[in-house]
A and B are shown apart, each in its own frame.
Chain A
Amino acid sequence: MKHMNAALLALATAVPAMSAPVELASDVFVEREHKRADGTVATVLEAPKLVVPGDQLVFVVRYKNVGTQPASNFIVTNPIPRAVAFSGTMDGTEVVSVDGGKSWGVMAQLKVVKPDGSFRQALPADVTHLKWNMNQTLAAGSAGKLVFRGVVR
């Protein structure tokens, strides 16, 4: 029913509102350390040609408003793949969930139920979902990216 309403509404409104004017793209890289000739270590992002447990992954979510209208209430959600242990984000402005997206908060406020029924402080590896609530309106043509890291379990 919801979809049908949206379709009817689309017939009656202007063209720009029909197509999704915001694009979202997901990408993943492997973070590796390479020793330079002078002994220093360079951290580089590589295409994930070879990935084994313990490797550091960097997930990049790019967004862009390709429409002509500003987008408000812009919220990005990213479930953490099961085989990945979340380790952190680049900007730290996210809220996280450790219960499959049921409840949300900053890491320090979240607790995890232990098998014996008691609680412990949530750890990054407990995170099941990430969410960024953008408090500003995404102007037409503007773009950005969200970056988070994880380790292959």
Chain B
Amino acid sequence: MLRTQTSRPSLGNALLRLRCASALAVVAATSAFGSTAHAAGTLAGTNIENIATASYDAGAGPVDIQSNTAIILVDELLDVTVVSSNPGDVGTTNGATNAVLTYQVTNNGNGPEVFTLTPNVANSGDDFDPALSQVVLDTNNNGVYDAGLDTTYVAGTNDPLLTPDQSINVFVLTNIPATQANGDRANVSLVAAANTGTGTPGTSFAGAGEGGGNAVVGTSGADGEASGFLRVDAASVVLAKSAVVADPFGGTTAVPGSTITYTIVATISGAGSLNNLAINDPIPTGTTYVPASLTLEGAAQTDAVDADAGNFNGTRVSVSLGNVPAGQTRTVTFQVTIQ
């Protein structure tokens, strides 16, 4: 339907040359099969022609004869595979938009074929279903989703045409719900189906093949499917606060004049990081903040709002920790005296 077969020299002529030309160039074995070096096999629409020749002597000198030509038209095999290009889970975050999963669709048939792509975000056996944003074809074929450059796929409008052995990268973009737990996974699958038809292997579509032959469903069923997985990386923080009392007499009694050293340890767990994390702690009633006693990770902080992370505004201490990766801790200390 798309390709015209290229003509080639007839076998009869080739034979004649073989027989009468003793100086015929050697046909290298490696080049003899050059026209059929497709993983997908002989191209659909190719005629396989067989002619036998014979020679004999019936008393009047050698005679050469030739058989009829037995011809077989190679039909179109419909086969496609889809594989995920992401070796493992793709990390994403709560509320993320256009999380990208990548798939490779390959025409394993022996004729050019158009494929319909169908994403599925609602697979069972996973933790959540992201919302489908769009399916995108890797127009510039660099394996990376380029927003605005690669073409959005619309089923029935720009179904990709793949020649035998040709592949195309397909991106499935989804949006992540806002409140998934750390480690939650989503299975997003992509199906590619031959537009000529699908079915159990061996199903044939008369006359629908490339080059005028039939189309036959191959071992893949003429449709392929693969899953990619998204994993939500959500970090969380736990604050642990402890106090050590030192009285004016060298003991640990909480009396007026005693100093209390508070230690706040922020432990970030989960995966990913927490952004713009800040710790605020009001000074307890009945106590007075000890000026310039605030520390972060053992480093003294001034009380003013300035370049360092900590400040005291008269009623509370505040420390800006910035973006903290999961698995780390931050320790803040400050002192008050009991009134």
Binding site for B on A (CB under 8 A): 6, 9, 13, 16-17, 20-28, 48-54, 57, 59, 61, 63, 67, 69-79, 81-84, 98-102, 112-115, 122, 126, 128, 138, 146, 152-153
Contacts and interface: CB of A to CB of B under 8 A. Distances in A.
Nearest to B111: A52
Interface stretch (B41-49, B94-102, B117-125, B137-145): B41-49
Given A27-B70, A128-B32, 20 more contacts: A16-B58, A22-B56, A24-B53, A26-B52, A51-B74, A53-B110, A59-B50, A61-B52, A69-B58, A69-B59, A76-B52, A77-B54, A77-B55, A78-B51, A81-B49, A83-B48, A101-B18, A126-B29, A128-B29, A152-B42
Nearest to B27: A100
Interface in B34-86: 35-36, 40-42, 46, 48-63, 65-70, 72-77
Contacts of A84: 48, 50
B305 interface: no
Contacts of B4: none
Nearest to B29: A112
B11 interface: yes
B33 A53 contact: no
Nearest to A140: B58
Interface residues of B, number: 51
B32 A152 contact: no
B238 interface: no
Contacts of B32: 82, 100, 128
Nearest to B8: A82
B15 interface: yes
B24 interface: yes
Contact of B74 (A49, A77, A152): A152
Contacts of A126: 29
Contacts of A20: 63, 65
A82 B50 CA distance: 10
B52 A67 contact: no
* Of listed B26, B46, B58, B110, residue having the most chain A CB within 10 A: B58
A52 B55 contact: no
A51 B73 contact: yes
Contact of A51 (B60, B65, B72): B72
Given A69-B59, A73-B62, A28 B18 contact: no
A67 B65 CA distance: 14
B214 interface: yes
B53 A77 contact: yes
30 contacts: A6-B61, A9-B60, A13-B60, A20-B63, A24-B65, A25-B67, A26-B69, A26-B70, A49-B214, A50-B75, A52-B76, A53-B40, A53-B41, A53-B110, A63-B54, A67-B58, A74-B54, A75-B54, A77-B55, A78-B52, A79-B11, A82-B35, A83-B42, A83-B74, A100-B18, A101-B27, A115-B30, A128-B27, A152-B48, A152-B74
B95 to A, nearest CB: 49
A82 B32 CA distance: 8
A101 B77 CA distance: 32
A48 to B, nearest CB: 5
B204 interface: yes
A134 to B, nearest CB: 8
A113 B41 CA distance: 23
Given A100-B27, A113-B29, A53 B53 contact: no
